[in-house]
Structure 1
Amino acid sequence: MIRLGLTGGIGAGKSTVAATFVDRGAYIIDADKIAREVVAPGSMGLTQLVEAFGDAIVAADGSLDRPALAAKAFADDASRATLNGITHPLIGARTQELLDAAPDDAIVVQDIPLLVENHTAPFFHLVVVVHADEDLRLHRLTTMRGVDEADARARIAAQATEEQRRAVADVWLDNSGSAEDLAAAAARLWDERLMPFEANVRSRTVAVPIPALVDADPNPAALPSRLSNRLWAIVGDKAVAVDAGSVRGSIPRLRVTVRDDDAASKLVDLLPAGGFPAVAEGVYGAADPGRPAEVTVVVTD
């Protein structure tokens, strides 16, 4: 199994990519859908929100009146913290339930509009960003979705910048063309990279890098940082340091320093599951054919 984080600015075309992945067999987890589900009529989430913010946040049909909630929940930092304290654990628990139910050979696609803003990129095997220039997104929102221009500009401005998205992106899908072009690009990504990546993780096989995929990295300068952050997410408190190290040819070389042999032994399973199968004792490679890496685990002196 691999987990893919799918994100992109409003109006970029993320839904087209998600639909293409689903058609090819993806196990989809939609963050927005979960956020609505946990506060649906009759849910514990809605009950807790009413207890915190009052009956006025409930519409006549028993559903959550989101504008009414927003007026109360975003009035100050304390109210916002109350809202997050109710919804975030419920969203997290439901997401984990869906992850636990995924098949062992699944390519799990987590559709998360605010993935960059929430700083969760390192927790995915791969992050895919769907991008379109701001003017094009504005045109789509106002003409295709009927969003007021001022509202559309405000929504775009409130989200992550192109630079911030590019810093965490492993794959950059440009949607300046047609929906058919974007769907075709997503299908190629699925066939050429995602399926081999998942099979390699499951079989604990180091990938043979595919030059075209490697060369398509949206931000090569940030690759060592992305890999370091990914390794930290995998190893957690079992490591005392993760160093980006050097580059051998086009292959970043990273080092994970652990406290003792017991911690090193735990990484024997954690690193392959996270996308870095073993090459030799204490040495790991990348299962992703588009993102080669060499990882060495050393015990601190």
Structure 2
Amino acid sequence: MLQIGLTGGIGSGKTRVADLFAARGAALIDTDLLAHEITAPGGLAIPALLEAFGPACLRADGAMDRNAMRELVFSDPAAKARLEGITHPLIRQLTEARAAAIRAGGLHPYLIYVVPLLVESGSWRARVDRVLVVDCSEATQVARVMARNGFSQGQVEAIMARQARRSERLAAADDVVDNEGPPEALPAQVDRLDQMYRTLAGA
């Protein structure tokens, strides 16, 4: 089955583009959603998180406190490594299980993995047939995330500093969706790529 890795920096519009592909029949596996799933109340990662970080890492409802953990790992590389050592293997296991189910189902022409840190991870490039980057300027990223999340400019820039540079993502791309402009510009770009992926997949 043809496998596409979709990525882009924070605020680039990955989710909007992924949803457009899903509307055209593509299968989607979003690793961010899997990360939320395993850190939700009762999630697969919760026991290991408690052991590694103690009860302060959880909210009152039993989910991982994402804001507290974000602050911790930004300031403590060892904590970041511990967190990733817990979550990344679980996300990979779930990703592979769901991909196997999608392939067995035979209902979709191709599969898109939505992976925010695809370029940074190193291993993902070998796992997909093509890399699709959703691209916009860094100024647009900052403005969108400030409006969406209520973060300060400094908070957004700190997150971006830990992601691949725009030039690095574009260098890794086989295909690019330009999301600098209005949302109305996206469907035609997705239509073109959808037809190309269907052709490559023999669908």
TM-score by length of 1: 0.62
* Bigger radius of gyration: 1
* Alpha-carbon distance in 2 for matches of 1:73, 1:139: 24
> Does 2:64 correspond to 1:64?
yes
- Number of paired residues? 199
For 1:41-80, list aligned pairs within 5 A: 41-72=41-72, 76-80=76-80
- Corresponding residue for residue 101 of structure 1: 101
Consecutive unaligned residues in structure 1, runs of 5 or more: 201-301
Q: Is the 8 A contact 1:53 1:72 kept in 2?
A: no
Q: Is the 8 A contact 1:45 1:87 kept in 2?
A: yes
- Which amino acid counterpart does residue 126 of structure 1 have in structure 2? R
- Corresponding residue for residue 147 of structure 2: 143
Q: Is the 8 A contact 1:26 1:109 kept in 2?
A: yes
Q: Is the 8 A contact 1:5 1:110 kept in 2?
A: yes
For 1:11-26, list aligned pairs within 5 A: 11-26=11-26
| Inter-CA distance 77–148: structure 2 relative to 1 (3 Å threshold) | closer
- Which amino acid counterpart does residue 156 of structure 1 have in structure 2? M
* Alpha-carbon distance in 1 for matches of 2:174, 2:72: 38
What's the CA shift for 1:134? 1.2
| Inter-CA distance 108–90: structure 2 relative to 1 (3 Å threshold) | same
**Higher helix proportion:** 2
Summarize deviations over 1:114-151 as a string: whole Å, max 9, x none.
10111222321111001111122222223354332221
What's the CA shift for 1:74? 5.5
Of structures 1 and 2, the one with the larger relative CO (CA 8 A, separation 6+) is: 2
Q: Is the 8 A contact 2:109 2:198 kept in 1?
A: no
Local SS of the residue matching 2:45: helix
Q: Is the 8 A contact 1:57 1:68 kept in 2?
A: yes
Consecutive unaligned residues in structure 2, runs of 5 or more: none
* Alpha-carbon distance in 1 for matches of 2:180, 2:73: 36
What's the CA shift for 1:73? 5.0
| Inter-CA distance 150–27: structure 2 relative to 1 (3 Å threshold) | same
* Alpha-carbon distance in 1 for matches of 2:71, 2:140: 30
Summarize deviations over 1:66-116 as a string: whole Å, max 9, x none.
233345556544433322221111111111110110134541110011101
Q: Is the 8 A contact 1:133 1:176 kept in 2?
A: yes
| Inter-CA distance 139–166: structure 2 relative to 1 (3 Å threshold) | same
**Higher strand proportion:** 1
- Corresponding residue for residue 196 of structure 1: 199
> Does 2:40 correspond to 1:40?
yes
- Which amino acid counterpart does residue 178 of structure 1 have in structure 2? P
| Inter-CA distance 81–150: structure 2 relative to 1 (3 Å threshold) | closer
| Inter-CA distance 144–69: structure 2 relative to 1 (3 Å threshold) | closer
CA RMSD of aligned residues (A): 1.9
1:152 counterpart (156, 161, 164): 156
> Does 2:119 correspond to 1:116?
yes
What's the CA shift for 1:49? 0.6
- Corresponding residue for residue 3 of structure 1: 3
* Alpha-carbon distance in 2 for matches of 1:144, 1:40: 22
For 1:200-215, list aligned pairs within 5 A: none
Summarize deviations over 1:12-33 as a string: whole Å, max 9, x none.
1212210110000111000100
For 1:160-179, list aligned pairs within 5 A: 160-179=164-183
Local SS of the residue matching 2:164: coil
* Alpha-carbon distance in 2 for matches of 1:145, 1:88: 24
- Which amino acid counterpart does residue 108 of structure 1 have in structure 2? L
Local SS of the residue matching 2:202: helix
